[in-house]
Amino acid sequence: MSSVRVLVGTRKGAFILSSDGKRKDWQVSGPHFAGWEIYHMKGSPVDPNRIYVSQTSGWFGQLIQRSDDGGKTWQQPGLQPGEGMPAFPNKAPNRFLYDTSAETGAPLTTHQWYDGTQHPWEFKRVWHIEPSLVEANTVYAGVEDAALFRSTDGGESWQELSGLRGHGTGPNWQPGAGGMGLHTIILDPTNPDRIYIAISAAGAFRTDNGGKSWKPINKGLVSNFMPDPNAEVGHCVHHVAMHPSKPDTLFMQKHWDVMRTDDAGDNWREVSGNLPTDFGFVIDVHAHQPETIYVVPIKSDSEHFPIDGKLQVYRSRSGGNEWEALTKGLPQSNCYVDVLRDAMAVDRLDDCGIYFGTTGGHVFVSPNGGDTWEPIVNDLPAVLSVEVQTLP
The Cα 325–Cα 303 span in angstroms is 20
pLDDT one-digit tens code per residue, 246-270: 999 999 999 999 999 999 999 999 9
pLDDT of 46 > 60? The answer is yes
Architecture of the domain defined by 3-391: 7 Propeller (2.130)
Give percent of the chain with pLDDT exceeding 70: 89
Give percent of the chain with pLDDT exceeding 90: 78
- Average pLDDT, integer, range 152-162: 91
Q: What are phi and psi of 232, to 5 degrees?
A: -65, -35
Angle at 294 (CA atoms; ends 229, 317), nearest 5 degrees: 105
pTM score over 0.85 = yes
pLDDT at 117: 52
User: Is residue 115 very low, low, confident or very high in pLDDT (cuts 50, 70, 90)?
Assistant: very low
pLDDT at 83: 43
pLDDT of 99 > 50? The answer is no
Amino acid, single-letter form, for residue 317: R
Angle at 266 (CA atoms; ends 262, 268), nearest 5 degrees: 60
pLDDT one-digit tens code per residue, 331-377: 999 999 999 999 999 999 999 999 999 999 999 999 999 999 999 99
The Cα 281–Cα 298 span in angstroms is 8
Long-range Cβ contact pairs of 118-121 (< 8 A, separation 24 or more): 119/170, 119/171, 121/96, 121/145, 121/147, 121/165
The Cα 294–Cα 309 span in angstroms is 19
The Cα 15–Cα 385 span in angstroms is 10
pLDDT at 81: 40
